[in-house]
Amino acid sequence: MDPLDTSTPIGAAAAAAVEALTMERRRPFPRPSRQRIFAVANQKGGVGKTTTTVNLSAALAMHGIRVLVIDLDPQGNASTALGVEHRSGTPSIYEVLLGDRPLDEVIAQSGEAEGLFCAPATIDLAGAEIELVSMVAREGRLRRAIASLSHEVDYVFIDCPPSLGLLTVNALVAAKELLIPIQCEYYALEGLGQLLRNVDLVQAHLNQELRLSTILLTMYDSRTRLADQVVQEVKDHFGDRVLGTTIPRNVRLAEAPSYGQSALTYDPVSRGSLSYLAAARELAERGVETPNGAGGNR
């Protein structure tokens, strides 16, 4: 059976998805007037940090925007999903943080899109927290590395580990904007208080430019009343910092990394892909202006 036979419900849905995706891809994304640097952070694991980093980056790059993903998680999941080598011994962000290599030397081209690059993480990064402790100006090492980057990129996304250690602090010091993925599940806001207190400390002492600009709701299940309650609670709490697009629970989002791909190339007409495409456009259209920082209007 032809899956695009519009005489069947499945065919009609597939045809509508293809048409929507085609129209969306034809519309250009606005380029920012200055470089935007995002830390994608939430100390809770399994909320969609890496999935969000990879798919937003891929969507932006597919629309002609130059994007660098910095994988700051020792698990290296973002590197895997972008099809970038990250075996032990590969030049990686670990050497950059320790001062052994400039960032330009470890950046690899992702096969996802012409303008998408990745600074991979290897397992060596697991020891960086301890090694950084004794180093001078340890919190600002990533910021200095990005500042010396000769690659011209419009966006930098830093995929943080699920912790509030020195790696995440380096990301917060380097970033101009904070993007927090929040899953639409019970205890969605649990633990965010400590992250936001850390943001306050970083703002006060290390990076006055840092702003909580973006909240993205993930793992939304329209069949449950709880998901709608969480969406409303997060919007009441964070206001216009919450993107209007929510990311649904979608098996394609989970499958794609095992093939070394983003969801947008693995299954471009899946609900997950279309949602991240819409979220990326919304993020791009917000431009460089950010709401009041994380220290207020909570």
By three-state DSSP, how is residue 247 classified?
Answer: strand
Q: What is the DSSP letter of 101?
A: S
Cα 215 from Cα 191, distance rounded (Å): 15
* Percentage of residues of the chain with pLDDT beyond 90: 73
| CATH number, domain with residue 275 | 3.40.50.300
Residue 201 lies in a domain: yes
Q: Can you say how many angstroms the Cα of residue 62 is from the centroid of all Cα atoms in its chain?
A: 15
Residue 237 lies in a domain: yes
Residue 294 lies in a domain: no
Residue 25 lies in a domain: no
**Digit-coded pLDDT (tens) for 76-95:** 999 999 999 999 889 999 99
Cα 233 from Cα 220, distance rounded (Å): 14
Burial (CB count within 10 angstroms: exposed 0-12, middle 13-18, buried 19+), residue 206 = middle
Cβ(265)–Cβ(277) below 8 Å: no
Distances (CA, A) of 178 to 169, 192, 244, 261: 12, 13, 17, 25
Residue 87 lies in a domain: yes
What average pLDDT does the structure give for the chain? 88
Banded pLDDT at 295 (limits 50, 70, 90): very low
**Digit-coded pLDDT (tens) for 12-53:** 555 555 555 555 556 789 999 999 999 999 988 889 999 999
Structure tokens at 46: 């399994």
φ and ψ at 151, to 5 degrees? -60, 135
The domain in which residue 156 lies consists of: 30-285
Q: What is the mean pLDDT of residues 113-122?
A: 96
Cβ(149)–Cβ(104) below 8 Å: yes
Cα 86 from Cα 107, distance rounded (Å): 11
Residue 14 lies in a domain: no
**Digit-coded pLDDT (tens) for 138-188:** 999 999 999 999 989 999 999 999 988 999 999 999 999 999 999 998 888
Confidence (pTM): 0.88
Residue 293 lies in a domain: no
Cα 178 from Cα 232, distance rounded (Å): 21
pLDDT at 291: 44
Q: How many domains does one find in the chain?
A: 1
Dihedral of the alpha carbons of 90, 94, 100, 101, in degrees to the nearest 10: 60
Residue 298 lies in a domain: no
φ and ψ at 213, to 5 degrees? -105, -25
